[in-house]
Amino acid sequence: MARMVEGQRSIDAATAAHYYQQGWWRDRTLIDDFLDQAAAHPDRVAVVSAKQASPVLHRHSYAELERLSRRFAAAFLALGVRPGDVVSVQLPNSWEFPALVYGALRAGAIVNPLVPIFRRRELTFILNRTETAVLVVIDRYRGFDHGAMGMELLGEVPSLQHVVVVGDAPAGAVSFADMFCGRVDEDDPALLAELERRRPGAEDLIEIQFTSGTTGEPKGVIHHHNTVYSGGRAVRDVYGLGAEDVCFMASTLAHQTGFGYGMLVPFALGMKVVYQDAWQPEEALDLFAAEGVTWTVGATTFAMDQIAAQQRQRRDVPRFELFICGGAAIPPHVVHQTKEYLGAQLVAVWGMTENMIVTTTRPGDPAELVADSDGTVVDWMEVRIVDEAGNEVPVDGVGDLQVRGPSQALGYFKRPDIYAAASPGDGWFDTGDLARRRADGGIRIVGRTKDLVIRGGENIPVAEIENVLFTHPAVAEVAVVAVAHERLGEQACAVIVVREHAAANPPTLGELTAFLAEAGMAKQFWPEQLRLVDSMPRTPSGKIQKFQLRQQIANPPPAAS
């Protein structure tokens, strides 16, 4: 019986039995799949890792990646990691990430992937919430000293026992090179026996993935091996991809997109996976050509960046076939340009950290459908669109999008109340999105009931930004809303009512972002636009009407003549 954690919901026996009977869940894990691939195809290339600091590509075969995962599992055991402990990993995309993830899982740990943009404010909350035992960080990335931040956290988070630093380790940190790569005990029979004893089952947790939302704090989404397996089925069962295909992942491996579709699923299928540690569209296209990349998953921003790179200098990417795209609206011209400049078909998907790919267009669908639809539901999931009374809306009607099925998350870590608030009953989950039902059975996301900005596929924690800005001495009222952006899909705009004493000298955008920086908030979460207003539009109950603010920003009044 798998160990339950706080916030994890129970799946009733009849529902679970149905999932197993249909083949949507299994009695094996994604680790089993990876180990089978390593045993059957030891010499096949598993991972190709491009790093900005090195002109040499790092290549590891399946046998090498498996050996590294075993070696790293031994290191985690030596650091005192116990079954059920949480290991947090904050690294850019590189070969070290999957090796550490598989090592932690083989040691019986639960992985908490952390996006590289998180800073001390976000990490303090997450590490305390998960009671993380070991944190793995890079030394420096994009000019930021993650190693120093990790050592500060070591003295502040009671559960944190060790900070492992990849690169130059500061005093007091665990050197990744020495403790993990320098080990030679991965073949020790006692270790192999212990790893077998700790080998997880299909309903053991695989990850706690934090996502930003409207509650004022990140939510830890809980998945086990079977929910992630089910969420990844579209790769093989819908898109027809397999071991001969080559995956490129630009989205961070700490997002569910990267964690699932750029690591666990392709390695389970025996694919080669290609990483960049920093997004560079021109270099990515060079990798596409050199490594024979056939497919990728990413936000619309990535497709637009590569199209622009091809327009500047054309490269031949003959094997590239499929760009699976989600996280932001897809302009019609991007669908056509993906084919024209990249030679690939763009497929639109909708999903969440909580459930992965739920709806998708299909290869061969016309461009007009891809641009105007988020697809039809995959066979193993269910969706419904309901009105305020819970009745399903008719064709072309708009309502709340709800989801249920075998890839649905198991809850929010230590916050069962938040998950319960989004659960109308009978296994349904209210996504917080507004959708229109199409005549072909598909859906189209038309807005959000939840208060969220999605910038280039990254969820911006609106409530948390507002909470910090509200403490600024010049701010009387604040609302952060989404504004359209051609490349990123959306940007965050701070709408401010200034306090009377500051009316003659209101704060600038630079002053407000500096205030957020001083509070320790990640730069990617800072508002990129500022609007000063005399008052906020409100409902009769006093709630700010953000839709009106968005309309006012999108359609400003004409300038006085």
Instruction: Collect all residues with Cβ–Cβ distance below 8 Å to 451 and sequence separation of at least 6.
Output: 214, 462, 463, 546
pLDDT at residue 299 is higher than 70: yes
CA-wise closest residue to 25 among 383, 376, 422, 408? 408
Give the model confidence (pLDDT) of 79-105 as tens digits.
999 999 999 999 999 999 999 999 999
Instruction: Collect all residues with Cβ–Cβ distance below 8 Å to 380 and sequence separation of at least 6.
Output: 22, 24, 230, 233, 405, 406, 407
Report d(CA 117, CA 115) in Å as an integer: 6
Report d(CA 121, CA 522) in Å as an integer: 8
Q: Answer yes or no: is 111 within a domain.
A: yes
Report d(CA 34, CA 29) in Å as an integer: 9
Q: Answer yes or no: is 65 within a domain.
A: yes
Q: Answer yes or no: is 277 within a domain.
A: no
Q: Given 200, 234, 259, which residue is the final one in a domain?
A: 200
- By residue range, what is the domain housing residue 126? 30-41+57-200
3-state SS assignment for residue 398: strand
Q: Answer yes or no: is 471 within a domain.
A: yes
Q: Given 167, 200, 233, which residue is the final one in a domain?
A: 200
Give the model confidence (pLDDT) of 191-231 as tens digits.
999 999 999 999 999 999 998 755 557 899 999 999 999 99
Q: The CATH number of the domain where 525 resides is what? A: 3.30.300.30
Q: The CATH number of the domain where 104 resides is what? A: 3.40.50.980
Report residue 333's pLDDT band, with 50, 70 and 90 as the boundaries: confident
Report residue 451's pLDDT band, with 50, 70 and 90 as the boundaries: low
Q: Given 200, 225, 242, which residue is the final one in a domain?
A: 200
Q: Answer yes or no: is 123 within a domain.
A: yes
Region of poorest pLDDT, from 1-15, 218-232, 289-303, 501-515: 1-15
> By the 8 A CB rule, do 224 and 205 touch?
yes
Report d(CA 33, CA 62) in Å as an integer: 12
Q: Answer yes or no: is 558 within a domain.
A: no
Give the model confidence (pLDDT) of 170-187 as tens digits.
999 999 999 999 999 999
Give the model confidence (pLDDT) of 246-261 as tens digits.
999 999 999 999 999 9
Q: Answer yes or no: is 79 within a domain.
A: yes
Give the pLDDT mean for 522-542. 83
Q: Answer yes or no: is 176 within a domain.
A: yes
Q: Report how many domains make up the chain.
A: 2
